[in-house]
Structure 1
Amino acid sequence: MSSMISRAQMRIVACTLLASLSMHAVRVPAAEPDSSGTETAAWRGPYPWNYSGILERRPRPALMAGACSTAPAARVLLAGDSWAQYMWDDDAHNASFDKFGQADHLAISRSLGSNPGPGYSGAEYAVSGSEAREWVDTGNYPWIANVVAELVAEPNIGTVMFSLGGNDILAGKSGGGWYKDMDLDVPGAEEALFTRILADSETIVDAITAVRPGVDVLVSSYEYPNFNVSALWCWIYACPKRRDLSRDPDNALVTDAEINAMNLEVESRRIAWTNANPRLHFDHGDGEMHHYYGDGVSAAGVLPRPGQQAPDYLPFPGGNPSRPSLRENFRVVSGIAADPIHLNPDGYLYKVAVQTESYFFPKFRGQVSQTLSSLGGAFDGWTDGSAAGTEDIAIGDDGTRLSYGLVSFDTSAIAPDAVIESASLYLVQEARSGSNPFVTGNLGAPRLDVAASFGAPEVEASDASAPADASNAGCFVGSADANYYALRIDLSPAALATIRRDGLTQFRIAFTNTDAGVNRVQFHDGDAPPLTGPEVRETVEQVEEIQADGSVVARTIRGTALVHRGVAEILGNARPFLDLRYLDLIFRDGFELPGGTGASVAVPGSR
């Protein structure tokens, strides 16, 4: 008997795992409910590891508590191909919005793990394997109509994140897509293909903006693929597809660098397209995995992160375009490491974190007139009514006593004639002890109290019971469930009225009940240092390898990756901050600032 597992045996093992995956995936709960009554799709390539039909989803918690006058609402729609499908199935956008303190802004979608082909009548619009040329074939495919119907049903959606065109490229020589040296067969064929994909994309965007003229469309980029799949799984897709992307695969097989160069040519055209339309925005993600994980030669944090600023998105490209993304960055499904295209859940979290940092957070945050940082020192901290501390802002209980967090701001920096329309307080999680009361609810609803001062300006034990000028005056948004997750607290009108213009304003945050266990979340205070360099975490990947005797052995691969620090990446630190938005015209130094009566006015921020 041969010491190597035979190709037939490999196929048997893989097919068994794939069959198991298909049966399992439709039962696995994801993050959001899916509508009932939608027909199930049969699998139709090109990604055999993906599930068939519709993924079952579980309801997502509201993550809003306290004195709230609104409820979470759908603000973002994810549409397009398998990249949109996976970002939705992984719930990457909602997780990232929560991390940035925006859990009341929801992403929604309807996904299919396989392309059902023409004639399908379901309601989905994030469809694995779908092509732009199919989307514009509205007589045979319902995808555009489904997006339009969702926009009509969800009037609060302000952004459509759109990922499409990759499958038109990956159709390869056999399917009318791209392949190396295709112009040698038909002169101008590559240019015609790229032009057609952009024209189809324009048709889709026109349909979206026709039903919602004010909507933004965020065009999502792809990432450097890695077709260097192990021999165990390469035959499933990566090896034959690399050959299909080559005119002469036996003598001139397309290389990783050539695939990346083609990808960047497509992205360059999409940048020019989005720059020409104010409703379009571009998500430049080529090389993000290289920046956050390294490329196998350079370590994490060495290679440049893709630029996010239009019109040039410099540095463009990010990472190292001569190398593929690491194999560890791609999906492994039921032990099958066959995917050369789609990022694993952590990879999509990084991608969406950059989207949120550069696009979604500024959009959700809105026009901010002034931002104040908390004072720190003796003015930020905690008390349980018996003891007090200023090393962090601790909120929760220790099983016996509630812990009250105290945050202080010098609000004399606010112009005396500024009319505050709204304000939001942000706290950034530093650590957690026991369970998280913002998620479990076992300590009741959180409360925000506001006062000019709870006694002396410094944190002291009596602050726990000191009277407030405004009580239960904040709406809490977010889970604060992990390090660098931001908790946002929107101030009520009563809280806005108590903000002083001649000194300190203090905020006290606590829950209403205790229970038998420790339930405490610690937040950074005003002494949090500036972010001076990258922060690295250890990564652990479990790889299953089939041995010569047919057994499966798990192997652990350890590495490092950069930490994305949420809002702290934007502000340069993790200190508490207070966003203020002004309603009426204000004057500073005798000059009227730009704006008009009844409109928010931007003024220089104070730190």
Structure 2
Amino acid sequence: MGWKTFVLARPVRRYHSSKIPAILLILVTAFSAVAGDSPTPRILMVGDSWAWFMFINHSLRDALADSGLGQYIEEGTYSTVPGSTVAQWTNPLWLAQITRELERNPSIGIVHLSLTGNDFLREWTIEMSDAERDALFTRIVRDLETVVRHCLSVRPDVRVAIVGYDYINKSKGRASLQQLNEAGMILAGMKRDLAARLNRCEYIQSYGAMHHYFGFPPKIPAGRLPLPGQAPDFQPWPGGDRKKGNPPEAMFDDIHLSAKGYYYLGRLCVDTLYRCWLTEDAPAATQTATEQQPAAVMATGR
């Protein structure tokens, strides 16, 4: 490999500009240098800190390389904004940024979309009635649909993967960790249903992925708990053990994955969908994500 993976010290919780600071652009550009032949950008990372961390860590790039697809890379310099909400991304100026990136990179045909997490964490409360919760989630998913439809409108060859989140290790107010994750899974189900209604759009379920890849040693080894199910039936839904948060090795903090965790999320995306979309002649391996170690993953210091 002609490049290395780097992790910034802490995640940026809120960032309200559509442009990443200049110093970060310099760092990303420097860290993205590749020796030898330049790989082809095929995937655009769009969205919040989960997409941003995957981009700056080269999580998807490493996953592609380890899957025999090292000729392809992702791009996300100007299309990932830590702390951003899906409501912000419906702003015409933000949507125009997606258009610019897709037009600037005509080889890109996949949009990796990570959104709704900040809307959910900021607005949902355990005190909401079911009707209030459903109204909130309906609005969030409606905003997500706006973003997805915009991506699809740029070019007829563009496809969108709505990538889910995994369990987080925090509570909120009177809501326990499990209650917060259960509410998140309700929203995830609505995002799954949105993808099913749209052409050229798929949902990648990731609740429970870290349970499978890391386990809870020594009692539960890696690979024992089930991977989250994928299309068409998404069984099991969710994966892993819905009563637990994620293992410490999988987490950078109580919300974000570690570098190794994001690598495995990248592997899940490749094995579930991206391999098929990138090669067209290979079936998606929805339940057979391999247990390889990342080619270049640095420790997060936890």
What TM-score does the superposition give when structure 1 sets the normalisation length? 0.43
Query: Which residue number in structure 1 is paired with residue 191 of structure 2?
Result: 270
The whole-number CA distance in structure 1 between the counterparts of 2:202 and 2:240 is 21
The whole-number CA distance in structure 2 between the counterparts of 1:282 and 1:368 is 19
Secondary structure at 2:112's aligned position in 1? strand
How far does the alpha carbon of each residue in 1:458-483 deviate from its partner, in whole angstroms, 9 at most, with x for none? xxxxxxxxxxxxxxxxxxxxxxxx97
What code does the residue aligned with 1:145 have?
A
Distance 1:316 1:368, change over 3 A: closer
Query: Which residue number in structure 1 is paired with residue 256 of structure 2?
Result: 342
Query: Which residue number in structure 1 is paired with residue 149 of structure 2?
Result: 206
Distance 1:135 1:272, change over 3 A: same
The whole-number CA distance in structure 2 between the counterparts of 1:368 and 1:98 is 16
Q: Does 1:354 align with 2:236?
A: no
Mapping for residues 587-598 of structure 1, pairs under 5 Å: none
1:264 offset after TM fit, Å? 1.1
Q: Does the Cα contact within 8 Å between 2:49 and 2:80 map onto a contact in 1?
A: yes
Aligned with 2:97 (options 119, 122, 146): 146
The whole-number CA distance in structure 2 between the counterparts of 1:542 and 1:218 is 31
The whole-number CA distance in structure 2 between the counterparts of 1:483 and 1:109 is 24
Distance 1:153 1:484, change over 3 A: closer
How far does the alpha carbon of each residue in 1:289-320 deviate from its partner, in whole angstroms, 9 at most, with x for none? 11111246533222111112x12211111000
1:202 offset after TM fit, Å? 0.7
What code does the residue aligned with 1:190 have?
R
Query: Which residue number in structure 1 is paired with residue 89 of structure 2?
Result: 135
Structure ID, larger Rg: 1
The whole-number CA distance in structure 2 between the counterparts of 1:322 and 1:162 is 27
1:200 offset after TM fit, Å? 0.4
1:60 offset after TM fit, Å? 2.8
1:328 offset after TM fit, Å? 2.6
How far does the alpha carbon of each residue in 1:373-419 deviate from its partner, in whole angstroms, 9 at most, with x for none? xxxxxxxxxxxxxxxxxxxxxxxxxxxxxxxxxxxxxxxxxxxxxxx
Query: Which residue number in structure 2 is paired with residue 182 of structure 1?
Result: 128
The whole-number CA distance in structure 2 between the counterparts of 1:31 and 1:323 is 29
The whole-number CA distance in structure 2 between the counterparts of 1:189 and 1:261 is 16
The whole-number CA distance in structure 1 between the counterparts of 2:238 and 2:162 is 16
Distance 1:85 1:30, change over 3 A: farther
Query: Which residue number in structure 2 is paired with residue 304 of structure 1?
Result: 226
Q: Does the Cα contact within 8 Å between 2:110 and 2:160 map onto a contact in 1?
A: yes
Query: Which residue number in structure 2 is paired with residue 157 of structure 1?
Result: 108
Secondary structure at 2:202's aligned position in 1? strand
Q: Does 1:125 align with 2:79?
A: yes
How far does the alpha carbon of each residue in 1:37-71 deviate from its partner, in whole angstroms, 9 at most, with x for none? xxxxxx98449xxxx8352122432554xxxxxx6
The whole-number CA distance in structure 2 between the counterparts of 1:542 and 1:163 is 25
What code does the residue aligned with 2:100 have?
A
Aligned with 2:39 (options 72, 75, 91): 72
Which structure shows the higher helix fraction? 2
Secondary structure at 1:343's aligned position in 2? coil
Q: Does the Cα contact within 8 Å between 1:30 and 1:89 map onto a contact in 2?
A: no
* Unaligned 5+ runs, structure 2: 284-291
Q: Does the Cα contact within 8 Å between 1:75 and 1:157 map onto a contact in 2?
A: yes
Q: Does 1:96 align with 2:63?
A: yes
The whole-number CA distance in structure 2 between the counterparts of 1:483 and 1:79 is 26
Mapping for residues 320-331 of structure 1, pairs under 5 Å: 320-331=241-252
Query: Which residue number in structure 2 is paired with residue 167 of structure 1?
Result: 118
Secondary structure at 1:264's aligned position in 2? helix
Which structure shows the higher strand fraction? 1
Q: Does the Cα contact within 8 Å between 2:275 and 2:282 map onto a contact in 1?
A: no
Q: Does the Cα contact within 8 Å between 1:74 and 1:107 map onto a contact in 2?
A: yes
Mapping for residues 172-571 of structure 1, pairs under 5 Å: 177-183=123-129, 188-227=131-170, 242=171, 245-246=172-173, 253-295=174-216, 298-308=220-230, 310-331=231-252, 339-367=253-281, 543=302
1:143 offset after TM fit, Å? 2.3
The whole-number CA distance in structure 2 between the counterparts of 1:101 and 1:63 is 17
Secondary structure at 2:108's aligned position in 1? coil
What code does the residue aligned with 2:136 have?
L
The whole-number CA distance in structure 2 between the counterparts of 1:265 and 1:363 is 27
Larger deviation, residues 84-93 vs 278-287: 278-287
Distance 1:293 1:44, change over 3 A: closer
Q: Does the Cα contact within 8 Å between 2:47 and 2:80 map onto a contact in 1?
A: yes
Q: Does the Cα contact within 8 Å between 1:226 and 1:327 map onto a contact in 2?
A: no
Q: Does the Cα contact within 8 Å between 2:259 and 2:300 map onto a contact in 1?
A: no
Aligned with 1:61 (options 34, 44, 56): 34
The whole-number CA distance in structure 1 between the counterparts of 2:58 and 2:66 is 12
Q: Does the Cα contact within 8 Å between 1:125 and 1:144 map onto a contact in 2?
A: no
Q: Does the Cα contact within 8 Å between 1:76 and 1:106 map onto a contact in 2?
A: yes
Distance 1:163 1:484, change over 3 A: closer
Q: Does the Cα contact within 8 Å between 1:328 and 1:541 map onto a contact in 2?
A: no
Distance 1:483 1:269, change over 3 A: closer
The whole-number CA distance in structure 1 between the counterparts of 2:202 and 2:35 is 28
The whole-number CA distance in structure 2 between the counterparts of 1:127 and 1:45 is 10
Equivalent residue pairs, number: 275
1:152 offset after TM fit, Å? 1.0
The whole-number CA distance in structure 2 between the counterparts of 1:148 and 1:288 is 31
Secondary structure at 2:233's aligned position in 1? coil
Higher relative contact order (CA 8 A, sep 6+): 2
Distance 1:542 1:77, change over 3 A: closer
The whole-number CA distance in structure 1 between the counterparts of 2:58 and 2:300 is 21
* Unaligned 5+ runs, structure 1: 1-28, 33-42, 65-70, 111-123, 172-176, 228-241, 247-252, 332-338, 370-481, 486-539, 544-607
What code does the residue aligned with 1:78 have?
M
Q: Does 1:83 align with 2:24?
A: no
1:214 offset after TM fit, Å? 2.2
Distance 1:319 1:73, change over 3 A: same
Q: Does the Cα contact within 8 Å between 2:195 and 2:201 map onto a contact in 1?
A: yes
